[in-house]
Amino acid sequence: MAKLKNTMDVFKLLEKTNCRKCNKPTCLAFAAAVFQGRIALSECPFIGEDILKEYGSKKLEYESTFEQDYIKVMGQLKDRIKKIDLESRAQKLGGKFLNGRLTLKIFGKDFSIDANGEISTDIHVNPWIVPPVLNYVLSSKGISLTGSWVPFRELETSRDWARFFEHQCIGAFKQVADTNPFFFKDIMELFNGRPVQNHYAADISLIIYPLPLLPMLICYNHPEEGLKSDLNLFFDSTADKNLPIENIYTLSTGLANMFKKLAKTHG
């Protein structure tokens, strides 16, 4: 029987209409519940017999915790790092190589990796940052930036992720920007945000660099008479050549969730 490895694997099998006939608010919530073994795939009435035959109609046994998965993934990434030449990757990735370490600027701060995949850095090492950085070292094509900004949904490989991104990332950023007056100040101070002028006629435009070849442009318009506020994120058109799309998603949503937490701290 085929194995469902994560929530996204389940989600790909669904109609994605959010019709709620399974008593879950969205298909994504249903997919997460299936992956965690709380309900069976067969509880979505639109799943065909062929799919149930392939993946099974009973509840999955939830085999591992997030921590266990994370440790496993990190071990695999470090093993792959051991096999590559960090020095030759450094220049391609917009980094430096010194004393056996590849150093990249992550949000403007040093993040170093040695030949065993061990990390030293000035930034707080959040779980949502490290796997994307190691994947960047392993798989970035090192393509120079074009300066052409596109929304996430226009990146070539974004198809399966675009709707999640709209909700989990842009929605979260917008909610924080609308309610927290410190939002843009925090981006500037904590993440080395740089203001830019006249991008898409936005009231506020900032660029941050989660990775050297992965800049992110945040544009925000304040609400005005009769018009709601508006927030958009843009990436260089090369983004998914320099980092796999799932890692762009992870980085962006990790950042959005961090801002939600910061907003709570600010009260």
Binding site for ligand SF4 (CB under 6 A): 14-15, 17-22, 24, 27, 30, 44-46
Q: Considering beta carbons, is residue 25 or 223 the nearer one to ligand SF4?
A: 25
Q: Considering beta carbons, is residue 32 or 93 the nearer one to ligand SF4?
A: 32
Beta pairing partners, 216: 208, 235
Taking the mean position of all CA atoms in its chain, how far away is CA 26? 20
Q: Give the CA distances from residue 146 to residues 76, 143, 211, 239, 254, in Å, rounded to whole numbers and listed in that order.
A: 32, 9, 15, 10, 25
The least CB distance from residue 152 to ligand SF4, in Å, is 22
The least CB distance from residue 43 to ligand SF4, in Å, is 8
Query: Cα(first)–Cα(last) distance of the chain, in Å?
Result: 49
The least CB distance from residue 257 to ligand SF4, in Å, is 24
CA–CA gap between residue 211 and residue 243 (Å, rounded): 9
Reference 106, options 78, 134, 77, 146; nearest CA is 134
Q: Considering beta carbons, is residue 42 or 257 the nearer one to ligand SF4?
A: 42
The least CB distance from residue 136 to ligand SF4, in Å, is 33
The least CB distance from residue 69 to ligand SF4, in Å, is 23
| Residue 161 backbone dihedrals phi, psi, to 5 degrees | -105, -15
Reference 209, options 190, 228, 223; nearest CA is 190
What does the DSSP 8-state code read for residue 18? Answer: -
The least CB distance from residue 104 to ligand SF4, in Å, is 39
Per-residue 3-state assignment (H helix, E strand, C coil) for 206-238: EEEEEECCEEEEEEEECCECCECCEEEEEEECC
The least CB distance from residue 144 to ligand SF4, in Å, is 41
Q: Considering beta carbons, is residue 34 or 86 the nearer one to ligand SF4?
A: 34
Q: Considering beta carbons, is residue 14 or 213 the nearer one to ligand SF4?
A: 14
Which segments within 41-152 are labelled E, that is strand?
96-98, 101-106, 109-114, 119-121, 149-151
Q: Considering beta carbons, is residue 13 or 218 the nearer one to ligand SF4?
A: 13
Q: Considering beta carbons, is residue 16 or 78 the nearer one to ligand SF4?
A: 16
Q: 81: part of which helix (H) or strand (E)? A: helix 66-82
Reference 90, options 82, 77, 101, 79; nearest CA is 101
